[in-house]
Amino acid sequence: MRTPFICGNWKMHLSPEPAAALARELAAKLGDCEGVEVGIAPPFVSLPSVAEAIARSPIRLFGQNCHWDKQGAFTGEVSAPMLRDVGCDGVIVGHSERRHFFGETDATVHARAKAALAAGLQTIICVGETLAQRESNQTLEVVGHQLRAAVSGFSPEQVAACVIAYEPVWAIGTGKIATPAQAQEVHAAIRGWLGDLAGASTASRVRIQYGGSVKGDNALEILQQPDIDGALVGGASLKGDDFVRIVAAAGQKAG
Ligand code: PGA
Note whether 7 and 40 are within 8 A (CB). Answer: yes
- 97, 223, 232: which to mutate for ligand 1, most atoms within 8 A of CB? 232
Return the residue whose CA atom lies nearest to atom 2 of ligand 1: 234
Instruction: Check pocket membership of 9 for ligand 1, CB cut-off 6 A.
Output: yes
Amino acid found at 219: A
Specify whether the CB–CB gap between 155 and 118 falls below 8 A. no
pLDDT at 79: 98
Which residue in the list 95, 97, 110, 187 is annotated as catalytic? 95
pLDDT of residue 33: 86
Containing structural domain, residue 40: 5-254
Mean pLDDT by 10 residues, the chain (255 residues): 96 98 98 94 98 97 98 98 98 98 97 98 98 96 98 96 97 91 98 97 98 96 97 98 97 84
Q: How many domains is the chain built from? A: 1
Answer yes or no: 167 catalytic.
yes
What's the pLDDT score for residue 229?
A: 98
Assess whether the C-beta atom of 167 lies below 6 angstroms from ligand 1: yes
Catalytic residue (choose from 97, 104, 167, 187): 167
Whole-number pLDDT of residue 167: 97
| Cα gap 172→75, rounded to integer Å | 28
H or E stretch including 190? helix 180-198
Q: Which atom of ligand 1 is found nearest the CA of 173? A: 5
CA of 73 to the centre of ligand 1 (A): 31
CATH number (domain holding residue 32): 3.20.20.70
**Residue 101's pLDDT is what?**
97
Q: What is the pLDDT of residue 103?
A: 96
Residue 242 Cβ inside 6 Å of ligand 1? The answer reads: no
123 Cβ inside 6 Å of ligand 1: no
Ligand 1 site, residue 178, Cβ cutoff 6 A: no
Respond yes or no: is residue 67 known to be catalytic.
no
Q: Note the pLDDT of residue 1.
A: 81
How far CA 8 is from CA of 19, 103, 133, 148, 238, in Å, comes to: 12, 23, 26, 25, 8
DSSP 165: E
Q: Which atom of ligand 1 is nearest to the CA of 237?
A: 3
pLDDT of residue 175: 87
Ligand 1 neighbour 234 (Cβ under 6 A): yes
Q: Render the burial of 25-63: b for 16+ CB within 10 Å, e for the rest.
A: ebbeebeebeebbbbbbbbbebbbbbbebbeebebbbbb
